[in-house]
Amino acid sequence: MEIANRQHYRTTPIGAKGTTIPYSEIVTHQTTMDLVSDQEVDHHYFRALEKEGVFLNRAQLEAVRASRGPHLIIAGAGSGKTRVLTSRAGYLLTYDTTIRPNNMMLVTFTRKAALEMLSRIQRLPGISRKMATEMVSGTFHSIFLRILRKMKYDQQILSNEKWKEIMVKGILKEERLHDSYEPETILSCISSFKANLQRPGDVLAKTPIEREIQGIYEKYEHVKNSKNLMDFDDILMESYYLLKENESLLERIQGTIRYVQVDEYQDVNKAQHELIKLIVKAPDQNVFFVGDEDQVIYNFRHATPKYILNLSKEYPNLKTITLGTNYRSTDSIVGLGNEIIKHNKYRLGKQLTATKTSHTTPFYMRPSDTLEEAVQIVDNIQADVSLREREYKDYAILYRTHNNSRNIFDELVLRDIPFVTKNEKVFYEHPLVKPVLDHLRLSQNPNLIEAIESVAPSMYLNKEKAVQHVLEATLGQQKKNMLRSLLVVPSLKPFQMQKIYDRIEFIEGLKDKKPVDAIREVRKGQPKYDEYLESDERKTLTQQKEMVRETMDELEASATRFNTIEEYLAFIDKILDKYKNMEQLRKEPNADCIQLMTIHSAKGLEFPVVYVIGFSQTILPHASAFSANDKQDRLIPEENKEQLEDNAFEEERRLAYVAVTRAQEELYLSSPQEYRNKTVDVSKFLLDAFSSAK
């Protein structure tokens, strides 16, 4: 394949001690055609699979034939785990006459995965559609909701996030905390409690803030129960306590569900892990765990590698089978992944092999900053597409956090290149960013009521009362300055009026400044916006202070290429319009557009060409990992507070590994030299990969 000039790229990262490119071993496996003779009792099944194009290697065959007892299938990236899961389900139903479809439970993490597995199982030899649909299959939530429904739990599911936010807003208003917390923050804390099987009375609240959160949690449960509602987290928590307390029900379920298969076991939280333990009846423990400890990246969803790493302690007869061949990527991509992840301590350990030879090796880029990074990457993609060897839909651009995508996002908009994000909020709508931009908007037009509502808390005014007053004070007066009407809010004391007056004067003074200077003024004004955010523990409860500063730094950087606030705001409005237009592209499965997403969102996906941006220290690994032991901003279960920094770095390395192993054919890794006005080194994860590469 012809590719455009790669003058900005190297074949090893700058600063690497080793220069030898890591390749994985290339293997040509024997398949069931060689491994299963026609004299074996189950040969008919494998011959039929082969007619459908399903050829299993030795490890996959062993896993499919594994029937009794507990098994852990370590499924490396691209190793064919879905093929194994579905083939084993068909095998058990075909060759064990004591197993009926409803004796099998197949658990997945997404509805899409569940439907795909059912579709594959229906196409297996000897399996009818009826047999497949009789299996107990679905996501954790769908399976356990069915159990609750059979036990007369008739609550309506509170599935709409907006409904939950409205409910929490009502509680916050009642408690006079509506300007102190974002509803999303409260809901995140409540979700954390429930994932750890903590009802309101189980929460060990030590600080005033924690006691405040616990009280809101208790009221949330009261309101929810009074309306006969249940949220998604309740499904698992209530199922757990139901089964723990109803022994006869648990025994009936254990008597029916005799074989359990769980996909993506590395992603389970405490509630999910404990539910599977309840269902799997001793002494048989016919459970089939499939997962990869090297891909545990959802700590924010309460997943931790300890559950998959400690299975052998909980299931003494556990047999482990490793699917160690990557069928997705070329040998140089697999080799780099191996060298990155081998430096983690908390893993079972495996070295993946490949089946595809590389035509190119991974490329490494060292742009001066993230703007140059965006320009060079988009230049390269456009050049490749112009050669008609690639389409836009072949490309994915991955990043550690939403903030890291801002320059790429902006560059693609400026060049009118089609792209979609994976249901991510646009940077300029971030709840920390929007109030700053609204200061700028009000400097140009003081009559934007939504912007007035946004900035009111920075004047220590209640949002709702401020807006209500403004609307009443300016009713029928089109030329009235709405912003200045805040000066006559009822019941203000003289010192409050002075502070509001000063703030309005400050906003009006931004009018003719360059946008980057205006943002700096907002950040260092009185009160200082950054310090206003950071000083309120309620506002930083679920995020690191580094995240607050990082977001503000990124906003400042976004304004540097514009000379006037009017020009800058017009560009942002164009970005927001572009984001709305993405909705149509998302509905078209074959739309020719670049995919932009976080590494977290990319897990489980694959792309012909992958660009990973921000492969530098403090970006990947993220700055928050360097101070994890001092983490005070988040509510963390006691059992997860040990070795925070080690765990944080290991998860960051797993993120790097997941990013690299999404690429099928071409991989480009970019390590900007400067990030938000600070010099940053190439990521330690890349340099470590070349410290001993052979």
Give the phi and the psi of residue 97 in degrees, each rounded to 5: -70, -10
Is residue 574 marked as binding?
A: no
DSSP annotation of 676 reads T
Buried b or exposed e, range 361-397, using 16+ CB within 10 angstroms: bbbbbbbebbbbbbbbbbebbeebbeeeebebbbbbb
Enumerate residues 6+ apart whose C-beta is below 8 A from 535. Answer: none
Task: Return d(Cα 293, Cα 315) in angstroms, integer.
Answer: 17
Task: Return d(Cα 542, Cα 65) in angstroms, integer.
Answer: 45
Enumerate residues 6+ apart whose C-beta is below 8 A from 114. Answer: 106, 108, 137, 138, 139, 142
Report whether 331 contacts 24 (CB < 8 A): yes
Q: What is the number of other CB atoms lying within 10 angstroms of the CB of residue 545?
A: 17
Is residue 535 marked as binding?
A: no
DSSP 20-52: SPP-PPB-----HHHHS-TTSTTHHHHHHHHHT
Is residue 76 marked as binding?
A: yes
Q: What is the number of other CB atoms lying within 10 angstroms of the CB of residue 17?
A: 11
Report whether 396 contacts 599 (CB < 8 A): no
Q: Which long-range contacts (CB under 8 A, 24 or more apart) does 17-21 make?
A: 17/687, 17/690, 17/691, 18/690, 18/691, 18/692, 18/693, 19/690, 20/690, 20/693, 20/694, 21/332, 21/335, 21/361, 21/362, 21/693
β-strands 287-291, 674-675 pairing:
unpaired
Q: Which residues pair with 675 in a beta bridge?
A: 678
Is residue 79 marked as binding?
A: yes
β-strands 9-10, 363-365 pairing:
antiparallel
Is residue 81 marked as binding?
A: yes
Is residue 282 marked as binding?
A: no
514 to 141, 559, 560, 563: CA distances (angstroms): 51, 8, 9, 5
- State the Cα torsion 521-524-530-536 to the nearest 10°: -130
Task: Return d(Cα 233, Cα 428) in angstroms, integer.
Answer: 30
Task: Return d(Cα 408, Cα 400) in angstroms, integer.
Answer: 13
Report whether 326 contacts 297 (CB < 8 A): no
Is residue 31 marked as binding?
A: no
Strands (E), 613-673: 663-670
Task: Return d(Cα 615, Cα 365) in angstroms, integer.
Answer: 9
Residue 367 tokens, joined? 């742009």
Closest by CA position to 649, among listed 199, 305, 198: 305
Is residue 509 marked as binding?
A: no
H or E element in which residue 163 lies: helix 161-174
Q: Which parts are annotated binding residues?
A: 75-82
Q: Pick out the residues of the known binding site for ATP.
A: 75-82
